[in-house]
Amino acid sequence: MSPIIFHPFEKEIEPDGDLDLLRLARKAGIPLEAPCGGKRICGKCRVIVESSDGPLPPPSEREAEVLGGLIKKGYRLACETVLTRGASVVVPEESRTGRQVILTSDTRHPYPVRLRPHVSPCFVEVPEPSIDAVLADRERFLMALEKAYGIRSPEIDLFLLRQLPQALRSGPKGVTAAIYDGEEIIGLWPGREERLYGVAFDVGTTTVVAFLMDMATGEKLAVTHAMNPQIAMGDDVVTRISFCGEDPGGLEKLRREIVSCLNNLIAEATDQAGIDPRRIMEATVVGNTAMHHFLAGLDPGYLALAPYPPVLQEGQTCKARDLGLRIGASAYVHLLPIKAGFVGSDTVACILATGLHKRKTPALLIDLGTNGEIVFGNRDRMLCCSTAAGPAFEGGHIRWGMRASPGAIERIRIDPDTLDVLWETIDREKPLGLCGSGIISAAAEMIRSGIILSRGNMNDALRTPRLREGEDGWEFVLAWGSETATGQDIVLTQKDVAELQMAKSAVYAGASVLIEQYGDVPFSQILLAGACGNYVDPRDACAIDLFPGCLTAKVVGVGNAAGHGACLALLDRNKSKEAERIARKAEYVELAAAGRFQELFVSSMWFTKAWDFEDDF
Amino acid sequence: MSPIIFHPFEKEIEPDGDLDLLRLARKAGIPLEAPCGGKRICGKCRVIVESSDGPLPPPSEREAEVLGGLIKKGYRLACETVLTRGASVVVPEESRTGRQVILTSDTRHPYPVRLRPHVSPCFVEVPEPSIDAVLADRERFLMALEKAYGIRSPEIDLFLLRQLPQALRSGPKGVTAAIYDGEEIIGLWPGREERLYGVAFDVGTTTVVAFLMDMATGEKLAVTHAMNPQIAMGDDVVTRISFCGEDPGGLEKLRREIVSCLNNLIAEATDQAGIDPRRIMEATVVGNTAMHHFLAGLDPGYLALAPYPPVLQEGQTCKARDLGLRIGASAYVHLLPIKAGFVGSDTVACILATGLHKRKTPALLIDLGTNGEIVFGNRDRMLCCSTAAGPAFEGGHIRWGMRASPGAIERIRIDPDTLDVLWETIDREKPLGLCGSGIISAAAEMIRSGIILSRGNMNDALRTPRLREGEDGWEFVLAWGSETATGQDIVLTQKDVAELQMAKSAVYAGASVLIEQYGDVPFSQILLAGACGNYVDPRDACAIDLFPGCLTAKVVGVGNAAGHGACLALLDRNKSKEAERIARKAEYVELAAAGRFQELFVSSMWFTKAWDFEDDF
């Protein structure tokens, strides 16, 4: 019996009882699209039966309905078609899937991703030069590549050309080329080597994260992070921009700091994974606009001057060597597109990762970083803004604030009767301080137990040794020195609460402006992004009035959505294009121009869920 | 009366008696192609008459024949069409010329060139960002550019983006962009600035020349030259290749030396012309294959091992910064294509400049450098080879040899009766030494006057104080110390003559092999390229049997044809493509593999025009 051949994969498989073409294709490992999983719902598994050894079964009613006139051209739904004899079946481009994998991650939300990287490995054997017709190394190599893969005249840059003579002559017969979009060769290794690597960066004002990815499997091989070393030149974006304005070499200093930080993260990650960093063939970077400009060496001065124009908005691709990254010298780095002076590629990547731009029902997306970027909308329209929330959510400007690392208190429980405190720390280590979620949790519990009052002041009527006067006014002891890693009491001060109030009311007011401008539609989800956002207990967030809509919408932590968006764009080149569309489509709302924001900012300062002792004032 | 309008130039001109459209176009300054000069031969001056205020004259017989079916589409030959009323005439792309200019040069042969550079300047006024819809600098700039020139989404690299914010905000309204092939912006200046510059390099084993060109006029603004500093690592190609093999950092040393030499030549040339080197927007480089590899940092090791494959053959384009050239950071440098391990882009450029590849009658082209590259052929077929002529023609290995600079003796006359010597020096300065043409001239005159005998030995039977025994055997005094700049006698030694014999018989034998392989056809021209070649007196060259065919063919000095080819490719992008075709078409003849070469090399060592005193032996 002759087999069924799937083109253009040229895979053969024998007909198998009443298995339909979709199931046969699965068995043969053919990447045939079927989002419904073969449940005969989606109508996406279209194939073309070119020829068949016997008569074809007539199209089903559903096929007739879904395919219409295409049936005349040989189109069938694979899930509806059972062939019992040999046939020649074409899987058209639109029905082919990239391979789907799940991004493993430190978040609770898995991100499905198709593996469609720009770069793919191609192994070729290159003949030696012959005296009769001496062809250069490059020309023999390209000829072999065209013969084996049909790739015509790809470019090779000077840096890679320098490796070519050696690669062609090192021991094993043949060489593996990393081909970028079928148009350029950007990597070369002697012998057969299928694995390529990529790295995605999330460059935050405070923390920087690198994700080392296996581009062949989508596996996350290592995640490394570091404080942004630019902190030495200013805690926040505005201070660093001023630094550039004051010091003629300021921008170059900031650029070198972050490049060296990224290179350290690469070295650490590749070390963990045991791979050569020069084997990294692609990188993506997301970050807020200022971080983006610092890294690219672009003058950030105008970001601080109304109307705050960035130097560029669209994505920018450059050679790794031009950016100073120590990965493959000829590899490309994609700086993802940014929206505005204060809505960067990190926000675009958050939208990409959460799929907000494809949703039917509007959702509120909040990235709780040093700047609180907020997006509200759905597939029809998206509004975005940035609020200067300050570093409180990342532990900054908080007496015992720290980043979310082992020993950070991430959750607090206060017994409302005894005011005794229970805490949970990351990795169950002895408390070192409070990370963002710990700060919010502490404030929420202190509100619930009446320690913090509606205006944010502490209830000094309470009699407990935990409430005491300190350097910054009243403070509440969350952990006694006898319990902590440092031997010192960990407290939340009146000043800390004031910082938190500024931060939360900025976010609240910003989100409210967007929702109002959109038209006050109901929404069912609040997506909390950012390393902090992911670990915030939704009830705690609601207790401190972090955002509007708490009563009606479900709060979902989406982890480091920006970082995940960067990973998605790395593994799937279509996602890069999607990011461009998101950046163009989102509408930026300038809060400074919205009088309504000031109004809401002031009125959102209070804690509405706290006890109100009006007589205190 | 309404005028005749030429589109797309939107130039108007009144009909003028019986002047045909070609002549009217000339009058109006329209770049309409007519290689025959309007003699009604070439059929290239095709235009489309879109509309006319009166009836058109019927097409001539010749038009009907040349244009055929195109006549229905409105096509006419401008030289055949006389319009007496207003009309609208389109000059289609294929009929437009680039502007033709003559390359000014230090050679006797002017090279006509069309100005069709890759790069063109575009001035735009860019609106300021508005608070309503904040567009980034890059996006506003590109939008203005598209509006003004229809250029869509050109790329801008990171290095140029860094200049953008400042360029948009520096004083004068508007900015000039240098656009490369309509696809990328590679330069930016505040204000309106029409002039762009380019530089062409001829990198020889011994001398390096830079030509600074005005890309708007084709004018040569400055020519600077220097010794190739790699000479410190070896006089000839093979020694330098060995140097790379012996020293792990050898290649990098050679690369740095030549890059720094090119940068010095750029600095000197731009200094002379009073322009900013960063305004140079394009560069071309020609050189022999080893020089090409050294500059590009490509391993030259295999050039010295049979079958001598280069790393690449086709032209390579890279950013100036990647090569290390201090011109516009985003500018492109074109390394012209090479043919083989010992026939480099200098030879390709010689063919390009002399038009050998377009000639009907075969010609012999000889580039008299350290390596004597030889080409024989015509538009049908070209054969090329390289002979290790040695540095004699550039003054190397010759006791009083020097490069062709002021004070070099370039011509000698010897009175056959008195054996008195007359010499001419460059710039009529006191003699310092002998340049290539001086060496050949001295040898030729010594042959004519019987001082050098047929086997190369000196005629010690002559009684003259000028002929004496020295360190290297017999020597002949060309200039007495009392006449020279150094106070020392300038002589030609027996050893110098032996060097010259090796060099000339290598060239003679190489050329003979090519002519034989081509099929011994008659040829009418011998083109002598190379700084030396240009100044060699053809009679002198024939007197020493420098090449075959002296009796039948005219010897023409074509100057630094390689350098001129590099200039042509710089000014006319079509010439770059032509160079690629030349490199592909030329057939390389490996002399080492041709037993006939050895035979001819030995038999060509003698001087056939010299007296033969057989009894001397």
Residue where the block lists tokens 């001129």 = B564
Say what the pLDDT of residue B129 is.
87
Say yes or no: do domains B4-95 and B119-190 share a fold: yes
Give me the pLDDT at residue A101, please. 47
- Give the angle A570-A573-A575 at the CA atoms, nearest 5°: 85
* Class of the domain covering B4-95: alpha beta
Instruction: Name the residue in chain B with its Cα closest to that of A295.
Output: B158
Q: What is the mean pLDDT of chain B?
A: 89
Judge whether residue A253 has pLDDT over 90.
Answer: yes
A-B contacts at Cβ under 8 angstroms: 122
* B598: Cβ contacts below 8 Å, ≥ 6 apart: none
Instruction: Give percent of chain B above pLDDT 90.
Output: 59
pLDDT at B593 > cutoff 80? no
Q: Are the beta carbons of A162 and B130 separated by less than 8 Å?
A: no
Write the pLDDT tens digit of every residue in A387-427.
877 778 877 788 898 877 788 899 999 999 999 999 999 88
What values do phi and psi take at A480, rounded to 5? -80, 150
pLDDT at B108: 46
Q: Is the pLDDT of residue A580 over 50?
A: yes
Quickly list DSSP for B123-146: EE--PPP-SSS---HHHHHHHHHH
List CB contacts (< 8 A) between A296 and chain B.
158, 161-162
Question: Collapsing DSSP states into helix, strand and coil, what is residue A290?
Answer: helix
Residue A531: the pLDDT is: 64
ipTM, two decimals = 0.78
Q: How far is CA B317 from CA A156, A347, A496, B128, in A?
A: 10, 37, 59, 36
pLDDT tens figures, B436-467: 889 999 999 999 999 999 999 999 889 899 99
Nearest by CB to residue A313, choosing from B136, B166, B314, is: B136
- Closest partner residue to A298 among B162, B297, B318, by Cβ? B162
Domain extent listing, chain B: 4-95, 119-190, 395-500
Q: pTM for the complete prediction?
A: 0.79
Q: How many other β-carbons are positioned within 10 Å of the β-carbon of residue A216? A: 15
Interface contact flag, B590 A131, Cβ < 8 Å = yes
Q: Is A259 at the interface with chain B, CB within 8 A?
A: no
Q: How confident is the model at residue B397 (pLDDT cuts 50, 70, 90)?
A: confident
> Do B306 and A165 make contact, defined as CB atoms within 8 angstroms?
no
Q: Is residue B193 pLDDT above 50, yes or no?
A: yes
Q: Which residues, in sequence order, are CB contacts of B442 under 8 Å at separation 6+?
A: B409, B412, B434, B476, B478, B492
Q: What share of chain B is helix, strand, coil (3-state, %, to 5)?
A: 35, 25, 40
Query: Residue B311 and residue A588: Cβ atoms within 8 Å?
Result: no
Q: What is the DSSP pairing of strand A197-203 with strand A175-180?
A: unpaired
B135 neighbourhood in chain A, CB within 8 Å: 309, 313
HSE-CB at A4 with a 13 A cutoff on CA atoms is 30
Helix axis angle, B595-603 to B494-518, nearest 10°? 140
Amino acid A420: pLDDT: 94
Q: For chain A, how far is it from start to end, CA to CA, in angstroms?
A: 92
Check residue B532 and give its pLDDT: 67
- Does B367 have pLDDT greater than 50? yes
Res A37: pLDDT: 67
What pLDDT is stored for residue B383 in this prediction? Answer: 97
* pLDDT score recorded for residue A113: 82
Chain B contact set for A301 (CB, 8 A): 165
**A580 at B interface, C-beta within 8 A:** no
Spatial distance between the Cα atoms of B591 and B307, rounded to a whole number of angstroms: 12
Partner B contacted by A479 (CB < 8 A): no
DSSP structure class, residue B310: -
- Angle between helix A561-571 and helix A345-354 axes, rounded to 10 deg: 80
What CATH number belongs to B119-190? 3.10.20.880
Write out pLDDT tens, residues B113-128.
Answer: 889 999 999 999 999 8
**Distance (Å, rounded) from C-alpha B347 to C-alpha B339?**
8
Q: What is the pLDDT of residue B616?
A: 47
Lowest mean pLDDT among A312-321, B341-350, B389-398, B563-572: B389-398
Indicate the DSSP class of residue A329.
T
Share of chain A above pLDDT 70, in %: 95
Q: Do B137 and A590 touch (CB under 8 A)?
A: no
- Looking at residue A438, what DSSP letter applies? H
Instruction: Give bridge partners of residue A383 from the DSSP assignment.
Output: A376, A587
Give per-residue pLDDT as tens, B219-267.
999 999 888 899 888 878 888 999 999 989 999 999 999 999 999 999 9
Chain A residues with CB inside 8 Å of B314's CB? 138-139
Residue A479 pLDDT > 70: yes
User: Quick one: pLDDT band at residue B102, thresholds 50, 70, 90?
Assistant: very low
Q: What's the pLDDT tens digit per position in A419-474?
A: 999 999 988 889 999 988 899 999 999 999 999 999 999 998 898 999 999 888 89
Do the chains contact at B158 and A296, CB–CB below 8 Å?
yes
Give the residue, A45 or B278, on which the prediction is more confident. Answer: B278
pLDDT level of residue A100 (50, 70, 90 thresholds): very low
Q: pLDDT tens, A604-615?
A: 999 998 887 654
Burial A422-449 (b: 16+ CB within 10 A, else e): ebebbeeeebbbbbbbbbbbbbbbbbbb
- Cβ neighbours of A137 in B, within 8 Å: 302, 309-312
Exposure of A404 in the CB half-sphere (CA atoms within 13 A): 25
Shortest CA distance from A161: residue in chain B: B298
pLDDT band for position A508 (cuts 50, 70, 90): very high
Three-state SS string over B390-436 comes to CHHHHCCCCCCECCCCCCEEEEEEECCCCCCEEEEEHHHCCCCEECH
Residues of B with Cβ-Cβ distance to A298 under 8 angstroms: 161-162, 165
Residue with tokens 């209070």: A606
Of A449, A454, A459, residue with least CA distance to A505: A454
Least reliable range by pLDDT among B174-188, B271-285, B529-543: B529-543
Report H helices in A162-214: 164-168
Q: How far apart are CA B59 and CA B8, in angstroms?
A: 23
Tell me if chain B has a CB within 8 Å of the CB of A131: yes
For residue B66, the distance in angstroms to the closest alpha carbon of chain A comes to 37
Say whether residue A299 is in contact with chain B using an 8 A CB cutoff. Answer: yes
Calculate what percentage of chain B has a pLDDT beyond 70: 95
Cβ partners under 8 Å of residue A147, min gap 6:
none
Question: What residue has token string 């900031």?
Answer: A254
Q: Which is higher by pLDDT, B37 or A214?
A: A214
**pLDDT for position A283:** 98
Supply the pLDDT for residue A616: 47
